[in-house]
Structure 1
Amino acid sequence: MKKTLITHAVASALAMLAAGAAQASGFQLLEQNASGIGNAYAGSAALGENASTIYFNPAAMTRLKGSQVSAGGTLVRAEYLFHDNGSSSGAFTGTGNGTDGGTLGRVPNAYVSTELGGGLFGGIGISAPFGLKTAYEQPWAGAAQATLFDIKTQNVNPSLAYKLNDRWSIGGGINYQQLEAQYQRMVSTSSAFSLSSDAVALQTQGHAWGWNAGVLFESSESMRLGFSYRSRINYHLKGDLRASGPTAALLAASTGAESTELTLPDTFIFSVVQTIDDKWEMMGDISHTRWSSVQEVDIKLETSNATAQTLNAHFRDTWRVALGSSYRLSPAWKIKAGIAYDQGAVKGADYRLVSLPDNDRLWFSAGLQWMASKALVLDLGATYIKVRDAQIYNDQRSANRGLVNGSYSGQVWLLGSQMSYSF
């Protein structure tokens, strides 16, 4: 009979539903520089290689002399293949695996730092701390839960650092962050009908403020320790719930302007960098992200304050551990390597969402650095991420969104480049 495609463009509430480009737990992006890819971001809060340390630990700006510009980007190819194991699409007749839910994405970054004098340093960074995308071809058994999700963030981070003495430095900054998203799913208005590809994609934006701070301790000429913290970001966002198709008018009472509350998690990083000799350097990293800030998120209609949909994410806090090394081939060339274990934020199959087939992952990284001159440094980095197979048993039949029962196999490739210029 008849069908309708419904589009939620509520950036705040739907952020936790997507996967795709996100390469850390949940939908966090670690790719805030390309120079760190080669070491799997081990030592991120203590390296201070270039101005991108503004994001990982602003205190490490005190290692940068004069002024510096650092900019780059990372290509992300994520693959999430769904394997059906008896899904029930409810009123829908759609079936199938939806092909590959992963996509190709790009994560840019840009930073500037400068030595202000008297032990004081300043800088500003522009990056994308959260972002992801999943897209499924039609028809597929999970279409009533999601067919498309795309989330983007932009973060502007002015920072200051101060060198207390030869060993201790402190730093901090404020963060202005914007978020926007698209989300699409199929919705039924009768008990029997077929799926179609009708789509309306609406976007919404919201903004919020946060802060970050860090400490750098240079215990000796060969060892330094870094600790940094990025605060939670509390969003109050507004969007629209819109329907398209022949029966869209029947859903008028449950669509319209809506709002949501969402708290993105805070993160702690502890890093160590150890110089072995004039050739070798080792680094390690332990980070903790408190994703439990995302539990049940209500999308409320502004006209009636009624809940249009609840997003049952029930995320858990996560840990990430990374080890890396760098070897200097010559004064101009350095090679990098790293490995990392990254814990997924999804608790289990019952809470796994088709737009976030997240699970634990292993990173295998390599990189190359070329010091073209005293002022210019170029970095290339590549990573292969093996995502642990993820079981899903998401039962939303009571809400007429079907049962998705199966598993995901996933992998991700990262390829990044960074240019840093000092003057």
Structure 2
Amino acid sequence: MSLKLAIVGGGSTYTPELIDGFARLRDRLPIGELVLIDPAAERLELIGGLARRIFAKQGHPGTITTTQDLDAGVADADAVLLQLRIGGQAARGEDETWPLECGCVGQETTGAGGLAKALRTVPVVLDIAEKVRRANPAAWIVDFTNPVGIVTRALLDAGHKAVGLCNVAIGFQRKFAAHLEVAPELIRLDHVGLNHLTWERGVTLLDAPGAAGGREVLPELLAGFGPQIAADLQLPLPAIQRLGVVPSYYLRYFYQHDEVVEELREKGSRAGQVAAIERELLTMYADPTLDAKPELLGKRGGAFYSEAAVQLLAALLGTGGVAHDVQVVNTRNDGILPFLPDEAVIEVPAEVGAGGVKALPQRPVEPLYRGLIAAVTAYEELALEAALKGGRDRVEAALLAHPLVGQLDLAEQLTDRLLAHNGQYLDWA
């Protein structure tokens, strides 16, 4: 079996991380042709050249092509990966700056900045998905594009064969495995919530990969490695110990909002740091002797994405050697969390196979987490409506619903700034 994959946004400086994973794990995911699609021709050729050198060095037999033509690139693809950033790092920089003027966190996926990114992104992704569907209705669409929960719901609501993927869960799995000095495949997470709003309520150490049962080791991890875990999350260790769970690091924007705002005002946005890293990476990628992903790429973010992508694609396309696999993905709720609508998109372990994706049953979610999950789900529903239909009132309603906003004057001020900074991307503004 030889697969054709396409990456929309293939000119991203992050793409070599995926290429490296595809090359290393080619036995699980036999790629015959990989197409990198991007409107930025110069960047695309740089990334394409490095990608071919990585494949060649690691002895991968697949071919890598580049194109600016989306229709040609996705034709006959078995799966299409989406990794877009509409407006680039410049728009991200604005998303992370203007909310601070109102005393709100400036972040590309959380709060007002996340809403701006959703408004810019959803229409473009849906247009791409329609072209994928026309080219091959059986193709899977795997969304890495943030905000993953909102974008994945937009795709599913439009009837596309889609699933969302984030690296938070696999990151925890790898770190917990390293702490315990075991293989990552022996760690199973009780991971629940929404994209970028999740908690590890349990960690099971399995006797063998895929085995039933196992031993709960979360208390052991917190007792033995609490300071390291707290440092990774930038959250106080006593708070984590009191909760008895490991929150996603994105929960810091909720649990320490005002402190984070002051830090961002003092240190500046993450976008500026990433832009500097990208400039250096592009210079490195232009070196014709470079044939491996550079160490600097690790500072770009997205650790373990390639491993997560290979696992997911292998299961969906039936090349993983097993009939199905359990993986943490973004997919329909369909009654799994009974306090949410069925059509909501949640991030939980799911059974993934050639037949599709089905979220696995979850034990009842504690009120401390359930309330926040429900509130952010309501915001995401309103955010999607604003992205699809436009209108100032819809934008303001979404902001008013967000737990980090929730005040009339603040929602109005943020709406003014969002529209002022994003008018060029919104047809209706």
TM-score for both structures, normalised by structure 2 = 0.24
Larger helix proportion of the pair: 2
Higher-Rg structure is 1
| Structure number with higher relative contact order (C-alpha < 8 Å, ≥ 6 residues apart) | 1
Q: Which has the larger share of strand?
A: 1
Instruction: State the TM-score, normalized to the length of structure 1.
Output: 0.24
